[in-house]
Structure 1
Amino acid sequence: MPRGAKASATIYSVIETAKENGLNPFQYLKYLFEQLPQLDEPKDPQPLDDLLPWSSKIPLTCRVF
């Protein structure tokens, strides 16, 4: 699979998972792009778990009501 196709599939998956978890995909991606560079240890699973779309720690600004 070409890299571009894999990257597109990954982004599509993140967007669809965000929608299924009641998140606004644009706001969620914006939040991820703001938070990911600030992680002290990017391979530590706990901070990454807090960024998953089903985490209760996702801010209300990312949610659709």
Structure 2
Amino acid sequence: MSLLETAKRHDLNTEKYMTYLLEHLPSEESLVNKNVLEAYLPWAESIQNNCK
């Protein structure tokens, strides 16, 4: 399942979600850390709060 399909299943506004990812991911120092990436998954609390 794609990231966008997962976002839809979590009732996110997919346009807001993609915009959020494109605005915030580039500022992360390292994407190697699993916890950093998990914070951007559709079910993360901060994503739910910002992208509905």
Residue 51 (structure 2) pairs with residue 62 (structure 1): yes
Aligned to 1:18: 7
- Quick check: which has more Rg, 1 or 2? 1
Which 5+ residue runs of structure 1 have no aligned equivalent? 1-11
RMSD across aligned positions (CA): 1.6
Which 5+ residue runs of structure 2 have no aligned equivalent? none
The letter for the 1-side match of 2:30 is E
Residue 36 (structure 2) pairs with residue 47 (structure 1): yes
Higher relative contact order (CA 8 A, sep 6+): 2
Runs of 4+ in structure 1 off by over 3 angstroms are none
- How far apart, CA to CA, are the structure 2 residues paired with 1:59 and 1:25? 11
The letter for the 2-side match of 1:23 is L
> SS of the residue aligned with 2:11?
coil
Identity percentage of aligned residues:
37
TM-score by length of 2: 0.86
Q: How many residues align?
A: 52
